[in-house]
Amino acid sequence: MTAQKNRGLGRGLDAIFGTTNPTQQSKPMSEMAEIAIADIEPNPLQPRSMFDEEALKELSESIAQLGVIQPITLKRRNDGRYTIISGERRWRAAQMAGVDRLPAYIREVEDEDLHAMALVENIQRQDLNAIEIALGMQRLIEECGLTQEAMAEKVGKKRSTVSNYMRLLALPSEVQLALKEGIISMGHAKAIAGLDGELQLKALKRCIKKSLSVRQAEMLAKKMSEKARNINTEVEDEYPESYSRLVVEFERVLSENIAIKRTKSGSCRITIECANDTEVDKLIAKLGKIK
C-alpha cells in the first residue's frame, strides 16, 4: 500500500527542493509554532480552486472536538504575516470551528518555489482534480520559465505525464468542466484530446450519454478519428442533397447515429451505429413502434 501512495510523486519535497543536502543541515529549513489564524493568508496561487462545503463542515466539526491534528505548512513573510503552502482546507475549517490558533510548520522557502511546493503537496495528497494540476503546472512553467522537462523533474513526474496534463488545457471548456466535476475521468479526457476540434465535443456527449468506460472511450476516439481521415481522403462526387435529408429523417425517427456513404458507382450504404447489445435491443424496440 505504501508503494502505491508514493507512485504519484516518486520523491518527497525535501528531495525536490534540495533541503536534505548535508551541507545545509546546520541551517533549519522549518520550525514548529502555534500561529494566530488572523495572521495567516491563503496562497493567491493556490492550485486548488474547489472546496467541498459539506466536507469542510465535517472537518470543522472534527476540529471543534479534537483540534487540528496535522499541522499546516506556512511561509513567513517580511511583514510578519504568513502565507499558506499547504493546509488551506484545514485553515478554512478551523475558522468555521472558531479556532484562534493553528499548529504549523514554518518553512524557509524562496518565493519562486512557493507555488511549486503548494502544487507538489496537493498532488501528494491527491487533493487536486486533473484540471487544477494542469493549471498549476502551467503557472509554474510560465512564471518560473520552466520547460516541460524541467517541470517534470520539479514535481517528480514523467515528461509524458506532464505533457498529458498540459494537453487537457487545450480541450474545449465543456470537456474541462466535465473532467473537473468528475463526470469523466483523466482517461476519458486523454482519449478525447486525441481527436480534432468538433469531434471532441461529439465524443464527450457519447461518453456521457452511453456511460462509456475509458477503454470504450479510447475505441470510440480511434473509430471517430479513422472515420474522419477516410472522409478527408476519399475522392468522391459531392453527395446529393437528398442524402442529407435521408440521414435527418432516419435520426428523427430512430435517434441513433446514422452514417451514409455513396460510392462512385452511385450506390450507397447506410450504417446505424450501436455501442452495445443494449443499444441494439433499444433499436429493435423503436423499429417495432414504427407504423
Segments in 80-172 forming alpha helices (H): 88-96, 111-124, 130-143, 148-155, 159-168
CA-closest candidate to residue 242, choices 268, 276, 204 = 268
Whole-angstrom Cα distance, residue 260 to residue 51? 48
88 included as an active-site residue: yes
CA-based angle 47:52:54, to the nearest 5? 160
Whole-angstrom Cα distance, residue 175 to residue 170? 10
Which residue type, as a one-letter code, is found at position 137?
Answer: M
Q: Residue 52 is inside which H or E element, if any?
A: none
Catalytic residue among 54, 61, 88, 273: 88
Per the CB < 8 A criterion, the answer to whether 175 and 204 are in contact is yes
Q: Which residues are catalytic?
A: 88
